[in-house]
Structure 1
Amino acid sequence: MTSTPEAILAQLQAAGAAYSEKKPGAREQLLNLGYALVSSVELPSEAIQRMGWAEPAKAAHCRLAVELKLFELLKGSGEQGITAKDLAVKSGADEVLIARTLKHLAATNVVAESGTDKYIATRLSNAFTEPKYRDGIIYTYDVAGPSFRGLPEYLKSIKYTLPTKLTDGPFQAAHNTQLPFFAWLDQNPPYLEKFNSYMSAYRAGKPSWVDPGFYPISERLVDGFDAGSSGDGVILVDVGGGLGHDLRELKEKHPSLPGKLILQDRPEVISTVSENGFQAVAHDFFTSQPVKDARAYYLHSVLHDWGDDDCVKILEQIKPAMKPGYSRLLINEIIVPDRNPTWPVTSMDQLVFVLGAIGERTEKHWENILERAGFKIARIYNYEMGSESLIEAELSEVN
């Protein structure tokens, strides 16, 4: 449904008031309405200019700024700012090149101008000096970027059929490989490191399932927890949990949480993990789950990297480890609404499409996968305008 600029402005006022009151979903609604306002007033020619070269140039110049450490230099200059000439000297790049790069980054609100050819840092550019965000720029530009840029030609080459194979999709065409995305990452350690680093930033600042009011951890996990069970007192197993970002957040926000926390991922990932309040163990989730009778088995953005049949296989490895009537399966994923999904949802659908020939799923789709694996949904937890939901499932048959 389209809206007039006047209608969107009225909605922005209401969303702004909700944001001031720190209501859940208000920030996301402001973003949504902001993009809607731009779309309602920009000319078609401006839309093409924005998509065709303004945004690609912004991405390319952010990648360049990361390489030349321009964001660090801007941050170090403080409120005084720094000239393009001094930036060129310090970075070893051409002065005119730096000036034109910073002009565009200022025009697109990444940095700010404080005078003629003089620039100062912003909240955003300072964030880009942090490793997790800096690595995100490198990963998205170098790894995901070529897959998007080559997508039209790739789809044309396969006569616009739908790619469904992990080893034969847009990513393989762009990077000239037959390896699946994660196997390619393992073969390219620098990008594996940047991917894992960025995963800690992807959800930063967004509501999490461990926040108050999202998932009732005390009622659903702590109450009834058996510290002396045959599961050796394990309250949660994070399956395919990367570097343990979720477990650290869980422990930080629930410091009195009882029981053990276990992180599982591939050996290449686990070897780089610095444990902090949990045990890190190498595990292939296509093999039997070794931790028995844990209170919860948790998968965050794991299944959206795999096709339906593989998702069923992954879940079937967990099923025998679960204690009927006690263990819970927690799946933290995007659920695509039947109508009016937001751009973070559709853009993630496009990302997993180009990287793995996969797609995000609707609630009905998730129900089908879980049913095939021997589970049923107990409840789905989310928040207004949020991208991710938490699916709580249990064994279909409890003896």
Structure 2
Amino acid sequence: MWPAATQAVPALVKWPKSQKPQHSVFAIAHGLETHVFDMLAEQPERAARFANAMVYFNSNADLAPHHIYDTFDWESVSQVVDIGGSAGSTAVALATRLPQVSIVIQDQARQSIPPALADRVSFIAHDFFHNKPVRDVDVYHFRWIFHDWSDRYCLKLLRALKPGARVIVSDFVVPESGTTLRYKGGLVRGFDLAMMELFNAREREQRDWQRLFEEADSRFRFEGVKAMPGADPAFISATWQP
């Protein structure tokens, strides 16, 4: 992170207004010509460290994945696809609390699932920019996925879903200036800088989220942003009307 932080200005000068993920500050700092995730795919040891870092973040009470359970009504949900679900911490948290729900994790990472949940939580390796292999599900969940990508790629990601899909996003929402504690607002803006440095991406304000769904397809019904006490990420939801 630190070598990337020192190269922010040169990257902005070299690639003004670029939305390509390979045009990141990290790429300049480390001599890459690819996206960070492509680098991780080629270096299993670093990929394992990255997955462990996500497990660490999820162990923080303010970032813990169980908050999503308290945010929505899951009574009518029977199948969830957790896209980019890494080692499965969100899937395990949901499956533990929702005995009627089966969850498919779409990601390259594979971790052991608790034996009691093994019949309801599974992994599929999949490129999430292509049409989804698991259809007719109740909810597609994205945790910390959109902030890794510029708008250009987030639109592609949404359009790879299907009409009728309900989308729930667990991600940061940048607060308007003066609407939250200075420390909390600064923390989210710090993540915004980190996403720019690592992925040439960004965090988004609520209006950015709404605009993203509207641009992906006019049939998306944006349902808003929910903030839960004790949770740092917010929860954004929308349904793609058939």
Normalising by structure 1, report the TM-score.
Answer: 0.53
Q: How does 1:74-223 map to 2 (within 5 A)?
A: 144-152=1-9, 154-155=10-11, 158=13, 161-162=16-17, 164-203=19-58, 204-206=60-62, 208=64, 210-211=66-67, 214-216=70-72, 220-222=73-75
CA offset digits 1:81-107 (Å, max 9, x no partner) = xxxxxxxxxxxxxxxxxxxxxxxxxxx
Q: Secondary structure at the match of 2:154?
A: helix
Q: How does 1:345-360 map to 2 (within 5 A)?
A: 345-360=188-203
| Unmatched tracts of structure 2, length 5 or more | 179-183
C-alpha contact 1:335 1:388 (8 A) present in aligned 2: yes
C-alpha contact 2:175 2:205 (8 A) present in aligned 1: yes
C-alpha contact 1:209 1:390 (8 A) present in aligned 2: no
| Unmatched tracts of structure 1, length 5 or more | 1-143, 226-233
Paired position in structure 1 for 2:213: 370
Q: Secondary structure at the match of 2:222?
A: strand
The CA distance in 2 between the partners of 1:302 and 1:344, in whole Å, is: 18
- How many residues in Structure 1 have an aligned counterpart in Structure 2? 229
Cα distance, 1:241–1:210 mapped onto 2, change above 3 Å: same
Paired position in structure 2 for 1:275: 113
The CA distance in 2 between the partners of 1:333 and 1:212, in whole Å, is: 11
Cα distance, 1:213–1:168 mapped onto 2, change above 3 Å: closer
Matched, 1:243 2:87: yes
Cα distance, 1:366–1:184 mapped onto 2, change above 3 Å: same
What is the percentage of aligned positions where both structures have the same residue? 23
Cα distance, 1:201–1:299 mapped onto 2, change above 3 Å: same
Q: Mean alpha-carbon deviation: is it higher for 362-371 or for 386-395?
A: 386-395
Paired position in structure 2 for 1:228: none
C-alpha contact 1:147 1:171 (8 A) present in aligned 2: yes
Q: Secondary structure at the match of 2:137?
A: coil
Shift of 1:212: 8.4
The CA distance in 2 between the partners of 1:288 and 1:159, in whole Å, is: 33
Q: Secondary structure at the match of 1:283?
A: coil
Cα distance, 1:211–1:352 mapped onto 2, change above 3 Å: closer
The CA distance in 2 between the partners of 1:240 and 1:202, in whole Å, is: 15
Normalising by structure 2, report the TM-score.
Answer: 0.85
Shift of 1:145: 2.2
Shift of 1:169: 2.4
Cα distance, 1:313–1:236 mapped onto 2, change above 3 Å: same
Q: Secondary structure at the match of 2:105?
A: strand
Coordinate RMSD, CA, aligned: 2.4
Cα distance, 1:309–1:164 mapped onto 2, change above 3 Å: closer
User: Radius of gyration: which is bigger?
Assistant: 1
The CA distance in 2 between the partners of 1:212 and 1:285, in whole Å, is: 21
Q: 93, 101, 106: which one pairs with 1:259?
A: 101
If asked which structure has higher relative contact order (CA below 8 Å, sep 6+), I would say: 2
Shift of 1:342: 1.7
Matched, 1:309 2:155: no
The CA distance in 2 between the partners of 1:359 and 1:237, in whole Å, is: 24
Letter in 2 for 1:151: A
Looking at secondary structure, tell me which structure has more helix per residue.
Answer: 1
CA offset digits 1:302-338 (Å, max 9, x no partner) = 1111111211111111124xxx3xx521011111112
Shift of 1:171: 0.7
Letter in 2 for 1:149: T
The CA distance in 2 between the partners of 1:261 and 1:160, in whole Å, is: 39
Shift of 1:293: 1.6
Shift of 1:221: 2.1
Letter in 2 for 1:298: H
